Amino acid sequence: MSNRIDDTFARLQAAGQKAFIAYVTAGDPDMDRSLEIVRGLADAGADIIELGMPFSDPLADGIVNQLAADRALKAGANTSKVLDLIRRFRETHQTPIVLYAYLNPIITYGWDKFHVDAAAAGVDGILPLDLPPDEAAMHPEMASTHGLHSIHLIAPTTPAERVKLLAEKATGFIYALSRTGVTGAHGAPSDTIGETVARIRVHASAPVCVGFGINTPAQAAQVAAHCDGIIVGSAIVKQIEANATSPDVAAKVVAFTTPLIQAIR
């Protein structure tokens, strides 16, 4: 069965283009305006949307995304509503969706039920932040993802043998961190991105995309030169935070993001 992520990378590679992956927290600042933001990003040319599932203890995230999760939860977001948001998005758009998720909400919802419902809603991949693939392999009940791609994170400090494991098991694409640390904590991408991507590509069949620290069009173009796509999260989420009370928050987010997308075309 075809997956929208695979189709997107095939199209981009045939055109000699890089992917732009936009991250936002689902339900931030509320469910209706979150849907407007996601639709706006897709219309602006984002190739893949990465949706963070709001969680009360997002320990892998910096303060920007922690606050986004808090805003979403206070506005009533939960796993069921996130899946409903995706169903509503699928009424108008076919842009691939990746869920950036912590394990606790998935287990609470039910592993198999979550993957079945996510796939039916229109999700294409899941990035489980706190579930290493070797740990998942120890639990038979986690063997099936119902066709959803499993996106893996690889950091510059990841040992060589683990890079091999993660790269070989990844499907959809690989999320390569330009730096170590939590999300949103960096002022600029690392100058060793090329080396990080090269050591991943030795073992990877999936495209390699780079995130962390991309805030400007110049940085977007700089990073895109070394990989198959870039991921911009905290910089976009900051725009939502700054305009959280505005009815025009989606338009303001799109206005900020469009030059980043254009910089890698």
- Which residue of the set 61, 117, 124, 228 is catalytic? 61
Tokens of 101: 């998720």
- Does residue 33 form part of some domain? yes
Tell me, what's the pLDDT at 185?
Answer: 46
Tokens of 205: 């069949």
- Integer CA distances (angstroms), 187 to 168, 179, 190, 235, 243, in order: 31, 11, 9, 10, 21
- Does residue 197 form part of some domain? no
- Does residue 54 form part of some domain? yes
> pTM here?
0.94
- Does residue 38 form part of some domain? yes
Active site (annotated) includes residue 50: yes
- Does residue 61 form part of some domain? yes
Tell me, what's the pLDDT at 62?
Answer: 86
Own/partner pairs, 208-211, CB within 8 angstroms, 24+ separation: 208/173, 208/174, 208/176, 209/19, 209/21, 209/173, 209/174, 209/175, 209/176, 210/176, 210/177, 210/178, 211/21, 211/23, 211/175, 211/176, 211/177, 211/178
- Which residue of the set 50, 117, 124, 228 is catalytic? 50
- Does residue 73 form part of some domain? yes
What's the total number of domains in the chain?
1
Residue 61 sits in a domain whose CATH number is 3.20.20.70
Most distant CA pair in the chain, distance? 49
Domain carrying residue 55: 4-149+226-263
Tell me, what's the pLDDT at 144?
Answer: 63
- Does residue 93 form part of some domain? yes
- Does residue 219 form part of some domain? no
Per-residue pLDDT of the chain (265 residues; tens, 9 = 90+): 679 999 999 999 999 999 999 999 999 999 999 999 999 999 999 999 999 999 999 888 889 999 999 999 999 999 999 999 999 999 999 999 999 999 999 999 999 999 999 999 999 999 988 877 767 666 566 656 788 999 999 988 899 999 999 999 889 999 999 865 545 545 566 678 898 999 999 999 999 999 988 999 999 999 999 999 999 999 999 999 999 999 999 999 999 999 999 999 9
